[in-house]
Structure 1
Amino acid sequence: VSKPYPRLEENGDHIKEDELSLRGAFFCPWILTNQGGIDPVIRGLATVVAEEFDGKVIDDLRNFLFEGTDGPHGKGLDLTAFNIQRGRDHGLADYNTTREAYGLPAVESFSEVISDPVVAAKMESLYGSPDNADLYVTLQVEDHVKLPNGEKSMLGPTTMAILGEQATRMRAGDRFWYQWRLPKKLLKFVESVKLSQVILRNTGICSIQDEVMIAQPRS
């Protein structure tokens, strides 16, 4: 999740209401219905580079979750603290136990999976051992997997293993999954469609980059 997102006209200019922040949008659907609709948001999102998956969390989630909305939590909450506590409440295993469950070797020290010495030292001071570490926290700070081309992936090995199995189970357990049901000719067509084409067909946006998940400036 990034900081405030630009909302853009077709020519790249900001709409008069300007940026959209997460903290100002919680439970406020009228922001879209009354301020230009979804098109300016999509145009803006296509220009923004995603934040790294790491131990840093933006204030909109860390300190201002649900801030300004009606109800007992109007002063803002902490999603990170919630996630840590929810992991404990639901009995999530520690970091090492989880690694072993996914076929990864257990580690004796945080420095084995965290190359940043400052972060590794902080984890050591907090938990003492990976055997005691909250899964949610450690997943965010473990080193990312290096890809065959030498580039760094978006996720660490434990996170990648968890999400990979989750995606596989969701697909295998869904009898309506498109790959199980569609004729080969239709399947080939469906898999050739890009997100940019879906956006152009279903919004008022006239142009957008072909690979819409790769941020590009709009001019």
Structure 2
Amino acid sequence: ENSRIKYLRTEFISETGSEEGNPREYPNEVSSWLDGSSIYSSSVELQDYLRRGEGGRLKVTDVDGWDMVPGRVTEYVESTTGDNPSLQFFVGDSRNLENIGLTSLQVLFVREHNRLADGLSERNSDWNDEQIFQRAKKLVQAEIQAITFNEYLPSIGINLSAYSGYNPSVNPQLSNEYILLTAFATGSQMADGWLQFDEGLNESTSGHLDLRDGFWTTSSVIEAGGIDSTIRGAAYDTQREMDLAVIPSLRNLMSGAMWGGWMDDCAMDIQRGRDRGLTDYNSLREGLGLERVTNWSDISSDVDSQQKLAAAYSNVDSIDAYIGIMAEDRLESSIYGETQQMLVLDQFQRVRDADRFWYENDAELTSLTSEFNSLRLSDVILRNTEIESVQCDVFFAESDASSFQCHLANSEVSQFSGEDTVDPLTEMTIFIGAVIVLILIAVIALPSRKESANIEEEINEEE
């Protein structure tokens, strides 16, 4: 009994999967667009709930003098250690607590939205809440798109062709292969723990966290005094290599109340592919226009990996796609093997080219395109945290704080005015920087210590 792992079949659209030519399809729960919906939600009702209703701002909760995303007391969320924290954060995506890295990034961009909203409100006294909110939202969406495509993707070896404009004939839908073999797989492989550092890159008083202790919990963020220590740790730590090795925290993961038991993340990824009818590794390669492999050595040059594959599978045509792509030799200057690389390139190319509201296709943002293209994640970090310095490209680990080049005091950036021109921000200096994105994945002047009521008052306040 203890050797069995609970698995829930993926919900599917009932009228699909009935016969050949009618493949099983799955309902969309989140948008494929890079539109900031993990912050703002794709639901009008939830977005309205998350808005403050004044000054174009999003709601925040005061935690030890810092703006955090809205929260409420709950008995539902538990950490993987069985703790039962009293606070659940709310943003546009219900999975915001899946790991503390994701939570930190979402808090960061909520602060960025409010920073922009405050600037727009100050410069446009005749604008109402709706005008300010929509403009700030559009700017944040553009920032997320620019950082993801100009900084994050190149850092992992994904270099797309130059943008040539909106193409309505392109299908932006996320493929099952991308979701199951890159999104899930990459997220599982990237980290082996959560380093927590103070400004001097010394271990914070709250201590480093095992990977499993950063799932489905707000306790670690609150106890660390906010998101700063997690962001510093992410910028310092190096990513694990994408391979067949899976750390114990992911092979023996106690998943808390949302799952009710132990799970093996690698086994779940394999089963998820089988559940959704994902084809075998060799057929996947053939479908992508790649050559089929005929020997174990065609997949990996590592003899140990070859032997493990031969022990687990009868022949190269029976390999689960997930195992095959994880066993592949990595391409030069990329975190991916040949098959994964093609899946990622195809998916991000389609998502960008099919987006009518892509920032480089938006006439309202034309005058700001160069500014977006020079933006770094470190800019957003330095503007919205108490982190005073960081490496300018946070997607490449740096362990020597004395070599950090981006500081609050050495980088003046322009403030978006919300109009067709960009006015330099002359009254205050804002610093620039960048942070490591996790799935993720994913994607402000110093945040205001806004006056907030307690958590319940903040969430239940009537705007």
Q: Same fold (TM over 0.5)?
A: yes
Counterpart residue identity of residue 257, structure 2:
D
Counterpart residue identity of residue 310, structure 2:
E
**Aligned residue number for residue 176 of structure 1:** 357
Matches within 5 A, 1:72-83: 73-74=260-261, 76-83=262-269
Task: State percent identity of aligned pairs.
Answer: 36
The correspondence for 1:27, drawn from 210, 216, 241, is 216
Q: Max radius of gyration: which structure?
A: 2
**Aligned residue number for residue 100 of structure 1:** 286
* Runs of 4+ with deviation above 6 angstroms: none
What secondary structure does 2:263 align onto? coil
Tell me, in whole angstroms, the C-alpha distance in 2 between the residues paired with 1:71 and 1:47. 31
Q: What is the count of residue pairs matched by the alignment?
A: 211
Higher strand share: 2
Tell me, in whole angstroms, the C-alpha distance in 1 between the residues paired with 2:400 and 2:232. 8
Tell me, in whole angstroms, the C-alpha distance in 2 between the residues paired with 1:114 and 1:73. 37
Tell me, in whole angstroms, the C-alpha distance in 1 between the residues paired with 2:281 and 2:355. 29
The answer to whether the 8 A contact 1:2-1:58 is kept is: no
Matches within 5 A, 1:126-137: 126-137=312-323
What secondary structure does 2:293 align onto? coil
**Aligned residue number for residue 117 of structure 1:** 303
Matches within 5 A, 1:197-216: 197-216=379-398
Backbone CA RMSD of aligned residues: 1.7
The alpha-carbon deviation at position 113 of structure 1 amounts to 2.1
What secondary structure does 1:23 align onto? helix
The answer to whether the 8 A contact 1:94-1:130 is kept is: no
Q: Deviations over 1:41-82 (max 9, x none)?
A: 11111111110000011111111252xx236624x3101111
Do structure 1's residue 87 and structure 2's residue 260 form an aligned pair? Answer: no
Tell me, in whole angstroms, the C-alpha distance in 2 between the residues paired with 1:72 and 1:185. 48
Which range moved further: 183-192 or 160-169?
Answer: 183-192
What secondary structure does 1:46 align onto? helix
The alpha-carbon deviation at position 10 of structure 1 amounts to 1.2
The alpha-carbon deviation at position 172 of structure 1 amounts to 2.3
Which range moved further: 56-65 or 176-185?
Answer: 176-185
The answer to whether the 8 A contact 1:97-1:106 is kept is: yes
Tell me, in whole angstroms, the C-alpha distance in 2 between the residues paired with 1:158 and 1:211. 27
Which consecutive residues of structure 1, in runs of 5 or more, have no partner in the other structure?
147-151
What secondary structure does 1:118 align onto? helix
Which consecutive residues of structure 2, in runs of 5 or more, have no partner in the other structure?
1-189, 402-463
What secondary structure does 1:139 align onto? helix
Counterpart residue identity of residue 305, structure 2:
V
What secondary structure does 2:360 align onto? helix
The alpha-carbon deviation at position 200 of structure 1 amounts to 0.5
Tell me, in whole angstroms, the C-alpha distance in 2 between the residues paired with 1:205 and 1:214. 17
**Aligned residue number for residue 257 of structure 2:** 70
